[in-house]
Amino acid sequence: VVEPYNSVLSTHSLLEHTDVAVMLDNEAIYDICRRSLDIERPTYTNLNRLIAQVISSLTASLRFDGALNVDVTEFQTNLVPYPRIHFMLSSYAPVISAEKAYHEQLSVAEITNSAFEPASMMAKCDPRHGKYMAACLMYRGDVVPKDVNAAVATIKTKRTIQFVDWCPTGFKCGINYQPPTVVPGGDLARVQRAVCMISNTSAIAEVFSRIDHKFDLMYAKRAFVHWYVGEGMEEGEFSEAREDLAALEKDYEEVSAETAEGEGEEEELGEEY
């Protein structure tokens, strides 16, 4: 019930005290479990197993060997254009149930396309409504750079995937040879290859907008505020946090509206594609 309060207050702290934050939204992950894994009533265990795959992919290069390693500090370097614009959208593919998997193994191109699908996003927002500033693709398992190059080249030609014009469409890519591991008897099928995408997109403002709306409805009546005040908080902290989020929404709006004065050269192929 008090989720909007907690979300606004914690985002206010995350703005000040973190360099990169990855957004995960229960509602979006519930939908993925229902749609892709055919789980009628997902539990927190189902959700956490899916989230664990994302966390595992983020840290895989610290633990295993690969063709292109992505260090955790590189997320900040490559994905954060301005200090406040550091809330990342995450997606993971393939999400297929053990029953559906049989022996089919999805290609690098297929899982890459799937990672960009709005239905794969782990926060409730549609990337087609915003613009990407940067994206990081972390592949695991049986993946070679040649296939990644081809998949990224195809993504760049898609009209639905738009980048801001002041940022060359640079994709940070990581390849790790360790295939994803699944919990025995769990919901997810064992696959040969998978990809986790962390992207910085202006569409994430939709998430903040929705939280703000729910916050406003409750705070207008000062509903449940007494619990927080009783724990030593002040009412002014609510207003301060809400104003900070309104400013953040505006920041994202401005970032997607800005245009570059001179179009940059396409960057050379290297570790970033």
The answer to whether the beta carbons of residues 4 and 12 sit under 8 Å apart is no
Q: Which of 79, 90, 122 is nearest to 255 (CA)?
A: 79
Contacts of 253 (CB under 8 A, 6+ apart): 202, 205
DSSP symbol at 221: T
Separation between Cα atoms, residue 115 and residue 130, nearest integer Å:
16
Identified catalytic residue from 3, 27, 74, 117: 74
Separation between Cα atoms, residue 64 and residue 41, nearest integer Å:
35
Beta strands per DSSP E along 78-144: 87-93, 132-141
C-alpha angle 46-37-118 in degrees, rounded to nearest 5: 100
Phi, psi of 141 (to 5 degrees): 95, -145
Phi, psi of 144 (to 5 degrees): -120, 150
Separation between Cα atoms, residue 40 and residue 63, nearest integer Å:
35
User: Please, what is the end-to-end C-alpha distance for the chain in angstroms?
Assistant: 43
Q: Which of 6, 1, 8 is nearest to 208 (CA)?
A: 8
Known active-site residue 272: no
Residues involved in catalysis: 74
